[in-house]
Chain A
Amino acid sequence: MIDAYNIYDNMDRNNILLSFKGDITSELLTSILQIMENKMDNMQEEPKTKKKVYNVLVECLQNLYHHMDDATDGNGDKNRSAIFMIAKNNGAYNIITGNYILNENIHGLKSRLDEVNALSKDQLKDYYKSVLNNGEMSLKGGGGLGMIDIARKTGEKLDYNFLEIDNKVSFFTLIIKVTQPQLI
Chain B
Amino acid sequence: MMKQEHLLDINDLKVSFFTPAGEVKAVNGVTYTMDYGEVLGIVGESGSGKSVSAYTLTGLVDRPGRIVGGSVNFNGHQIEKLPEKEFRKIRGKEVSLIFQDPMTSLNPVFTIGNQLEEMLRLHTSKNRAQRRQRAIELLNLVGVNEPEKRLKQYPHEFSGGMRQRVMIAMALACEPKLLIADEPTTALDVTIQAQIMELMVDLKKKIGMSVMLITHDLGVVSDVCDRIAVMYAGKIVEIGTTDEIFYEPKHCYTNGLLRSIPKINETTHERLIPIEGTPVDLLNPPAGCPFAPRCESCMKICLRQMPEFIQHSETHKSACWLNQKALLEKQEGANGDE
Q: Are A and B part of the same complex?
A: no
Residues of A whose CB lies within 8 Å of any CB of B are none
